[in-house]
Amino acid sequence: MNIANWVLLVVTLLFVRFSDGSLSSDGFSEIPKKFLDFAKRQEVVDWMVGVRRKIHENPELGYEEFETSKLIRQELDKMGVKHKYPVAVTGVVGFIGTGEPPFVAVRADMDALPMQEMVEWEHKSKVPGKMHACGHDAHVTMLLGAAKILQEHREDLKGTVVLVFQPAEEGGGGAKKIIDAGALDNVKAIFGLHVSPDIPVGQVASRPGPLLAGSGFFEAVITGKGGHAAIPQHSIDPILAASNVIVSLQHLISREADPLDSQVVTVAKFQGGGAFNVIPDSVTIGGTFRAFSKESFMQLKQRIEEVIIGQAAVQRCSTTVKFQGDGKPFFPPTVNDKDLHEHFQIVARDMIGSQKVSIMQPLMGSEDFSFYQEAMPGYFYFLGMKNETLGKLESVHSPYFTVNEDALPYGSALHASLALRFLLDFQPKISSSVGKQHDEL
């Protein structure tokens, strides 16, 4: 360790003492508010609103986000932010800061949904059958907003912020592809958000530990022997067998799962037969299962397969069971890192005040952000959009879904503050490894 490194160590240790969230003399606690003021400047708001509406007009499905990705790169170029493209087909990964470790990532998803927008407004989707009905247009915009803030304050970054614009969140597992591409090797933490129509604008909510469920899909073909419905003794009835399978599957939650460990099994698809007097050859059933831990999830998966095969066999039917379609991955549970929860609480309270930062119940929905959390500590939170004076906001995935654009500055400033403050707080931890070889992204 040379003298320069000793000085760095002493300075960073001093930094820790004074950067403790309870002390404000260092000015770090003022950063989130300053960033929010910056993001609320009229010219910044106008720019963000323009970007968001442009993306909204041209929604693209998972792994087809070519125009969205192009727009992102153009905006990053205008700011002078370096980026890599393509990552995971259409993804863009930007870098702001020293180019050196530590690395912290902030993520936005880019894809739209295959549904028709029913909202009549000036910037309605111009692509029939496709719509940004989950707010990912706003997510992209807020990450670009964060890029603008961070680029403006790049001299203050004690490391590198990695901006992740990922494809295909809606079932395509784009996050997994980003990880598999090695784009986030050596990243120490990642943050992500989702807009929420149920939380007031200017407020946020999340929780430490499990936030969203792991989710999987199954489909089974139960095969018997078709024949005349009036002569059942000559047939093997797959409809009755499938009915018993479905009833038995419901026992997995009511009789086998811990009542305090929330899980869901839903059979949502039941197809077979077409005539009143014909027993069909086979029946197809399918559904989803959810759980908040990987253990419960995998246990459920195993038991679903056993119950379908076993119960169908009781009635002499053979079965094939498939999980997920098209080789898509299961979504693991979204589990928030406890230390990052503390970090989030401090930063968010500094920005909007402690009454506006709440702890929420877990939700049975799922997010592919969970793939990042399998690779590194991660934190996911919900950003409020509700403003009752502007009318009720529809839920995500509704054809009437709208975004309250007043939320954009909050998301941008939070992204930027969480990343910048993480790098500041991380300094003492890396000081012990000063002199070791530098990590490369």
Site residues (vs Ni ion, CB under 5 A): 134
Q: Provide, rounded to whole angstroms, the least separation between the CB of residue 59 and Ni ion.
A: 13
What is the β-pairing status of strands 263-271 and 282-291? Answer: antiparallel
Toward Ni ion, which CB reaches closer, 64 or 350? 64
Residue by residue, DSSP assigns 87-144 as ETTTEEEEEEESSSS-EEEEEEE---BSS-----STT--SSTT-B--SSHHHHHHHHH
Toward Ni ion, which CB reaches closer, 51 or 134? 134
d(CA 439, CA 426): 15
Residue 24: how many CA atoms within 13 Å on its side-chain side? 10
d(CA 39, CA 59): 25
Q: Provide, rounded to whole angstroms, the least separation between the CB of residue 397 and Ni ion.
A: 8
CB neighbours (10 Å) of residue 206?
23
d(CA 343, CA 125): 37
Q: Provide, rounded to whole angstroms, the least separation between the CB of residue 111 and Ni ion.
A: 9
What is the β-pairing status of strands 187-200 and 160-166? Answer: unpaired
Toward Ni ion, which CB reaches closer, 111 or 350? 111
Toward Ni ion, which CB reaches closer, 205 or 236? 205
Toward Ni ion, which CB reaches closer, 71 or 134? 134
Q: Provide, rounded to whole angstroms, the least separation between the CB of residue 261 and Ni ion.
A: 25
**Which residue, 298, 71, 68, is CA-closest to 168?**
68
Toward Ni ion, which CB reaches closer, 134 or 283? 134
Q: Provide, rounded to whole angstroms, the least separation between the CB of residue 324 and Ni ion.
A: 19
CA distances from 300 to 33, 163, 257 (A): 45, 35, 9
Instruction: Indicate the residue whose CB is closest to Ni ion.
Output: 134
Q: Provide, rounded to whole angstroms, the least separation between the CB of residue 49 and Ni ion.
A: 20
Toward Ni ion, which CB reaches closer, 225 or 328? 328
